Amino acid sequence: MTFMSRIVAPLVLSALLASCASGPDNSVAYVERPAETIYATAFESLDRQQYPLAAARFDEVERQHPYSEWARRAMLMAAYANYESNNYDEAISDAQRFISLHPGNRNAAYAYYLIAISHFEQIMDVGRDQAATQQALLSLEQVVRRFPDSRYATDARLKIDMTRDHLAGKEMSVGRWYLRRGYHLAAINRFQNVLREYGNTSHVPEALHRLVESYVSLGIDEEARQVASVLGYNFPGSDWYETSYDLLTREGISIGESIEQADPSFMRRAMQRLFG
């Protein structure tokens, strides 16, 4: 049984689907009615995917019957309806209010999750400010931390990986911009940050190669050689390693012993020194 079905299951909908007056802006006129009647009409709007109207009608439940059981249910349903209508700020506000008023409720996990995915849906491309991405990451991590065994934590973990990859992509974008303009030290800081903070993302091989490029441009051959060795040891078949190898060869910089025969302890020490 779905989350929404559990909430609406106690209703006998066929007996309660009374009409509810609404204006063109989805505002609901005040007509005093039983809480369950308003809730039923709100759920009918939700079922018809009339999300702004559904949110307004769920809000009406709380307005007319603020201390009822129906008001508690309607508060979270309003958050869901606002989320579906892409009204993320209202969805977050509704869910946060639900948590503050009912922190021990069994649906609190869903409220935290709804806040997290509302932030997640506002993530912008890497060319824009990433404040929403950072907030999404914090909110998703809170879901996992508070409710590690919940069904919401499973999806949150997946979205955490996606969010971290996005943040790493932003660092790479800025680093490439610095590199193209010859600001090599600034570029190095960005690429090293990818390795320190986002070491499990898809951007690591390129970050290592860009470090090789940066060190070669600065004439720091030993650093370039060691980073290339780390790249080859961890991603031996990657295009980025081949590109780094070709670059060093053209510059007359030898990587030294074969990557396959490299001492793992040396690689660990090199990674710690370079990126620790």
Answer yes or no: are the C-beta atoms of 100 and 77 closer than 8 Å: no
Mean pLDDT for the chain overall? 84
What is d(CA 243, CA 195) in angstroms, rounded to the nearest whole number?
19
Q: Is 80 exceeded by the pLDDT of residue 27?
A: no
Answer yes or no: are the C-beta atoms of 102 and 112 closer than 8 Å: no
* Banded pLDDT at 21 (limits 50, 70, 90): very low
- Looking at residue 16, its pLDDT comes to 35
Residue 57's nearest CA partner among 28, 86, 92 is 28
Which of 138-142's residues contact partners 24+ apart within 8 Å by CB, and which partners? 139/112, 139/115, 140/116, 142/112, 142/116
Task: Calculate ∠ Cα 248-250-254, nearest 5°.
Answer: 40
When comparing pLDDT for 213 and 127, which is higher?
213
Stretch 261-276: mean pLDDT: 53
Q: Which two tokens stand for residue 25?
A: 């802006």
Contacts of residue 171, Cβ cutoff 8 Å, sequence gap at least 6? 190, 191, 193, 194, 197, 198, 203
Q: Is 109 helix (H, G, I), strand (E, B) or coil?
A: helix
Residue 202's nearest CA partner among 246, 164, 160, 236 is 164
Q: Is 217 helix (H, G, I), strand (E, B) or coil?
A: helix
State which amino acid sits at residue 27: S
Stretch 41-53: mean pLDDT: 93
User: Would you give the end-to-end CA distance of the chain in angstroms?
Assistant: 48
What is d(CA 8, CA 70) in angstroms, rounded to the nearest whole number?
10
Q: Is 60 exceeded by the pLDDT of residue 89?
A: yes
With a pLDDT cut of 90, the percent of the chain lying above it is 64
Answer yes or no: are the C-beta atoms of 51 and 85 closer than 8 Å: yes
- Looking at residue 125, its pLDDT comes to 82
When comparing pLDDT for 270 and 83, which is higher?
83
Q: Which two tokens stand for residue 275?
A: 């990126």
Q: Is 60 exceeded by the pLDDT of residue 257?
A: no
- Looking at residue 67, its pLDDT comes to 83
